């Protein structure tokens, strides 16, 4: 070996080292590729497990949102439902792609896709039922448990696929560990080779020392540049903090293992925390203590889900400050893995002012719409192009269109085609100089309804300046009725003028007629005086006659009473019957005299009306009139009821009627007397049925007989 020079030995040593290094690198390459491949398979398996969890989570969110909406019937509970529906199909497509290369999952993924579509159909059907008002049917569907059964089937199927992947993950992890050990062995061999190379490298030390001086000079230059970069970075950090303060945007990093967070200064200010903890790792409980009690559990669950499933984090919640005030915070974050740990990094935004502005805007819009709906006239708001933007209920009723049919349409839709060009000219002139124009000022306008009918209107215009341009509010009033009243009033005025002329002529005639009436009045007074004197003479005559008649009548009653009381036992039955007839007729004669006296007073006193039982009175009169007759005709009296009349006068009427009927039927064989309908003629010439007490009322009728006698073969009807 002595003949081998040092240079040759060095060359041989470098060659051997190069071969060893090459073999080591080749083995390390193979081992590293195998390790990387196994690691990639482990990563894909973990992503697949996460994808399974994502599908389950979205399915649960859809069911939760659907049930919340069915229970509360509030649209905000449908947010997780709609978000899940938007994401489920995409996540299922990703799952199909991720499992396409396997032999175990594709048929099960197809089955899972069918179950998911079925679950979506069930949940969507229940939401449609609630929106259409069929809440009972939706509640029955939920109670039937169809959605729960489908969800349980999804969970079971996903559990099978997760179990398969977890078993495969355990196998891959064991393979990766064995390959890691092999890689470590190869690395050890590589280290040994490198040690040998180190010995050979000593040869180059002197040369490296010379190069070192040059490198140190270059390093000094680079350090200067690095210091400049650090200064610039500090300046940029200061600008960033200032920008965060202006925008109220804070940043944070949360360690998912230790649950410690590191926050910027603005983040601490957003939460009302001590600024001294900015940049210092602090327990997350400090943040949770600031959360509103109603939001705390929701935020805690969202943070855990983001860290566990590596899904983006976005929450909006309220912060309770130490002084009792509240803030609205919007938080966005993304989880990331580093060094075997999971971190959640994101930003916080204080959007309290935005929330307040939104609330004020909603309240203002609500007040505006309420004011618009409460307006008594039809209200239409148009933009600069005269396209309808808003209408109220009165406008719908006035024109016959719905809001959906009017919004976005040109306002010329509501104007007759013949007036369209003229209206565009007026519109252009108003747009050039907008101002408030009162109702019915200066223009004779017409509107047209959906059915094509035209009607006169008055319009009041008001310009509204907004950030989006000029809006015009039009108050429209239907004046059809007023126009008809005005036309009718004009017609009546013309008729009134003609009537006034005729009235003037009639006044002269009335003046002449008044003079004649005065003459007639004087003659009437003279005749009234004569009539009063005649009535006085008649009354005196009545008193005289009644006195002359009563004296012998009292004697007859007195002597007849003596015969009945003292000589009754000496008289036979026929004599007693005859005396009874004398007494009854004498008493009846006395009543007639009293009635005659009362009749004489009728000119001075009112008729004394009272309730009279007509049935009792007529049946009593029939019994009295038939008592002293040998032949008794059949008398049929229907129900008469109770009447308001003078008792004596109406009795006299019935007495006369029945007496006449008995007198004129006496000579007929088998006589019958029945009540029938008769009519009376009033002073005005009209006819109507005569009431039972017509002889004593004040209706101005001409009374007729209420009874008529007939033979048994004589037909006749009725009741009076």
Residue 426 pLDDT greater than 80, yes or no: no
Cα 25 → chain centroid = 79
Phi, psi dihedrals of residue 662, rounded to the nearest 5°: -70, -35
Say which residue the tokens 């007023």 belong to. Answer: 482
116 and 68 co-located in one domain: yes
pLDDT at 204: 60
488 and 599 co-located in one domain: yes
What residues make up the domain containing 427? 381-478
170 and 101 co-located in one domain: yes
44 vs 241, more confident = 44
Domain assignment present for 298: yes
User: Can you tell me the distance from the alpha carbon of 15 to that of 316, in angstroms, rounded to the nearest whole number?
Assistant: 67
Q: Which residues contact 309 (CB under 8 A, 6 or more apart)?
A: 50, 53, 54, 57
Domain assignment present for 306: yes
414 vs 699, more confident = 414
| Least confident stretch, 13-22, 232-241, 317-326, 629-638 | 232-241
pLDDT at 612: 92
pLDDT at 8: 62
pLDDT at 475: 82
Query: In terms of Cα–Cα distance, which of 419, 475, 410, 417 is closest to 445?
Result: 419
* Cross-strand pairs, 318: 328
pLDDT at 399: 85
Strands 326-338 and 249-255: unpaired
pLDDT in tens, 565-612: 888 788 888 888 888 888 888 887 777 777 666 666 655 555 678 999
Question: For residue 209, what are its two tokens?
Answer: 């020392």
Mean pLDDT on 599-628 = 78
Residue 474 pLDDT greater than 60, yes or no: yes
Domain assignment present for 575: yes
Q: How many CB atoms lie within 10 A of CB 720?
A: 20
Domain-terminating residue out of 172, 200, 228: 200
Q: What is the dihedral of CA 607, 611, 615, 620, to 10 degrees?
A: -60
The predicted model scores a pTM of: 0.31
CB 335 within 8 A of CB 256: yes
In this structure, what CATH number is given to the domain that contains residue 345?
Answer: 3.30.450.20
Mean pLDDT on 103-112 = 83
Mean pLDDT on 147-154 = 80
| Least confident stretch, 246-250, 340-344, 403-407 | 246-250
Distances (CA, A) of 213 to 209, 216, 650: 7, 5, 157
Mean pLDDT on 496-512 = 78
339 and 396 co-located in one domain: no
pLDDT band for position 704 (cuts 50, 70, 90): very low
Determine whether 648 is exposed, middle or buried from the number of CB atoms within 10 Å of its CB (0-12, 13-18, 19+): middle
Residue 2 pLDDT greater than 60, yes or no: no
CB 395 within 8 A of CB 406: yes
Phi, psi dihedrals of residue 690, rounded to the nearest 5°: -80, 125
Mean pLDDT on 490-519 = 78
Q: State percent of the chain over pLDDT 90.
A: 1
143 and 32 co-located in one domain: yes
Domain assignment present for 343: yes
Handedness of CA 58, 63, 67, 70 (dihedral sign): positive
Mean pLDDT (the chain) is: 75
Domain assignment present for 523: yes
Mean pLDDT on 355-383 = 77
Region at 34 (left for phi over 0; alpha for psi -120 to 50; beta for the rest): alpha
Q: Tell me which range, 175-179, 303-307, 443-447, is most confidently predicted by mean pLDDT.
A: 303-307
pLDDT in tens, 112-127: 888 888 878 888 887 8
Domain assignment present for 623: no
Mean pLDDT on 59-84 = 78
CB 475 within 8 A of CB 459: yes
547 and 637 co-located in one domain: no
600 and 640 co-located in one domain: no
407 and 500 co-located in one domain: no
User: Can you tell me the distance from the alpha carbon of 613 to that of 647, in angstroms, rounded to the nearest whole number?
Assistant: 10
Domain assignment present for 569: yes
419 and 393 co-located in one domain: yes
CB 655 within 8 A of CB 623: no
DSSP 691: P
Phi, psi dihedrals of residue 409, rounded to the nearest 5°: -90, 150
Domain-terminating residue out of 452, 478, 504: 478
Residue 705 pLDDT greater than 60, yes or no: no
Mean pLDDT on 650-661 = 84
In this structure, what CATH number is given to the domain that contains residue 526?
Answer: 1.10.287
Domain assignment present for 149: yes
554 and 527 co-located in one domain: yes
pLDDT at 206: 64
DSSP 606: -
Mean pLDDT on 138-163 = 80
Residue 406 pLDDT greater than 60, yes or no: yes
What is residue 313's three-state secondary structure? strand
Our count of domains for the chain comes to 5
User: Can you tell me the distance from the alpha carbon of 460 to that of 375, in angstroms, rounded to the nearest whole number?
Assistant: 13
pLDDT in tens, 31-64: 677 777 777 777 878 877 887 788 888 888 877 8
In this structure, what CATH number is given to the domain that contains residue 159?
Answer: 1.20.120
pLDDT at 715: 28
pLDDT at 709: 41
Residue 633 pLDDT greater than 60, yes or no: yes
538 and 582 co-located in one domain: yes
Handedness of CA 487, 489, 495, 501 (dihedral sign): negative
388 and 534 co-located in one domain: no
Q: Tell me which range, 417-431, 524-538, 579-593, is most confidently predicted by mean pLDDT.
A: 579-593
544 vs 97, more confident = 97
pLDDT in tens, 673-695: 886 544 343 434 444 444 444 44
pLDDT at 698: 41
């Amino acid at each position: 070996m002595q003949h081998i020079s040092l240079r040759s030995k060095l060359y041989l040593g470098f060659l051997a080292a190069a071969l060893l290094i090459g073999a080591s690198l080749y083995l390390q390459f193979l081992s590293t590729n195998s390790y990387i491949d196994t690691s990639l398979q482990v990563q894909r398996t973990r992503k697949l497990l996460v994808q399974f969890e994502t599908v389950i989570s979205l399915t649960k969110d859809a069911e939760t949102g659907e049930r919340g909406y069915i229970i509360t019937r509030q649209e905000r509970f449908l947010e997780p439902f709609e978000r899940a529906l938007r994401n489920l199909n995409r996540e299922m497509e990703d799952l199909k792609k991720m499992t396409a290369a396997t032999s175990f999952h594709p048929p099960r993924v197809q089955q899972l896709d069918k179950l998911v579509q079925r679950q979506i159909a069930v949940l969507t059907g229940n939401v449609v039922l609630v929106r259409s008002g069929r809440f009972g049917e939706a509640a029955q569907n939920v109670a039937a448990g169809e959605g729960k059964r489908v969800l349980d089937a999804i969970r079971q199927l996903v559990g099978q696929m997760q179990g398969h992947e977890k078993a495969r993950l355990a196998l891959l992890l064991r393979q990766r560990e064995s390959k890691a050990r092999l890689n470590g062995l190869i690395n050890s061999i590589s280290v040994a080779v490198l040690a040998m190379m180190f010995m050979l490298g000593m040869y180059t030390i002197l040369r490296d020392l010379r190069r070192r001086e040059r490198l140190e000079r270059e390093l000094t230059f680079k350090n200067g540049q690095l210091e400049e970069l650090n200064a610039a970075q500090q300046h940029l950090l200061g600008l960033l903090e200032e920008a965060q303060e202006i925008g109220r945007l804070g940043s944070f990093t949360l360690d998912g293992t230790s649950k410690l967070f590191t926050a910027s200064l603005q983040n601490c200010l957003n939460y009302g925390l001590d600024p001294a903890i900015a940049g210092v790792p602090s327990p997350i409980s400090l943040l949770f203590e600031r959360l509103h009690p109603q939001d705390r559990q929701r935020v805690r669950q969202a943070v855990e889900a983001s860290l566990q499933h590596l899904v983006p984090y976005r929450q909006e919640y309220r912060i309770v400050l130490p002084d009792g005030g509240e803030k609205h915070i919007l938080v966005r974050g993304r989880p990331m893995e580093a060094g075997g740990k999971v971190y959640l990094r994101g930003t916080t935004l204080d959007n309290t002012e935005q929330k307040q502005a939104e609330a004020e805007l909603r309240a203002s819009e609500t007040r505006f719409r309420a004011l618009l709906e409460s307006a008594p006239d039809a209200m239409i708001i148009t933009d600069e192009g005269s396209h309808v933007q808003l209408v109220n209920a009165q406008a719908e009723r006035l024109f016959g269109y719905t809001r959906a049919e009017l919004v976005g349409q040109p306002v010329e839709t509501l104007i007759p085609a013949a007036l369209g060009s003229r209206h565009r000219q007026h519109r252009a002139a108003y747009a050039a100089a907008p101002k408030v124009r009162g109702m019915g000022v200066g223009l004779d306008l017409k509107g047209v309804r959906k059915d094509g009918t035209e009607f006169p209107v008055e319009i009041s215009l008001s310009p509204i300046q907004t950030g989006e341009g000029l809006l015009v509010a039009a108050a429209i009033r239907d004046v059809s009725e007023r126009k008809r009243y005005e036309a009718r009033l004009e017609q009546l005025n013309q008729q009134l003028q003609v009537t006034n002329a005729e009235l003037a002529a009639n006044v002269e005639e009335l003046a002449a007629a008044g003079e004649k009436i005065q003459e007639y009045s004087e003659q009437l007074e003279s005749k009234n005086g004569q009539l009063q004197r005649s009535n006085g003479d008649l009354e005196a005559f009545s008193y005289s006659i009644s006195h002359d008649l009563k004296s012998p009548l009292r004697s007859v009653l007195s002597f007849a009473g003596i015969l009945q009381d003292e000589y009754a036992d000496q008289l036979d039955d026929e004599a007693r019957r005859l005396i009874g007839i004398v007494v009854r007729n004498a008493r009846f004669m006395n009543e007639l005299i009293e009635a005659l006296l009362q009749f004489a007073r009728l000119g001075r006193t009112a008729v004394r009306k009272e309730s009279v039982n007509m049935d009792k009175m007529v049946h009593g009169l029939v019994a009295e009139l038939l008592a002293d007759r040998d032949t008794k005709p059949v008398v049929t009296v229907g129900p008469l009821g109770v009447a308001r009349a003078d008792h004596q006068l109406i009795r006299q009427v019935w007495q006369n009627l029945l007496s006449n009927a008995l007198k004129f039927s006496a000579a007929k064989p088998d006589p019958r007397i029945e009540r029938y309908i008769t009519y009376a003629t009033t002073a005005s010439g009209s006819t109507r049925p005569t009431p039972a007490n017509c002889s004593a009322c004040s209706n101005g009728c001409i009374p007729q007989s209420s009874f008529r006698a007939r033979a048994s073969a004589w037909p006749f009807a009725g009741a009076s």
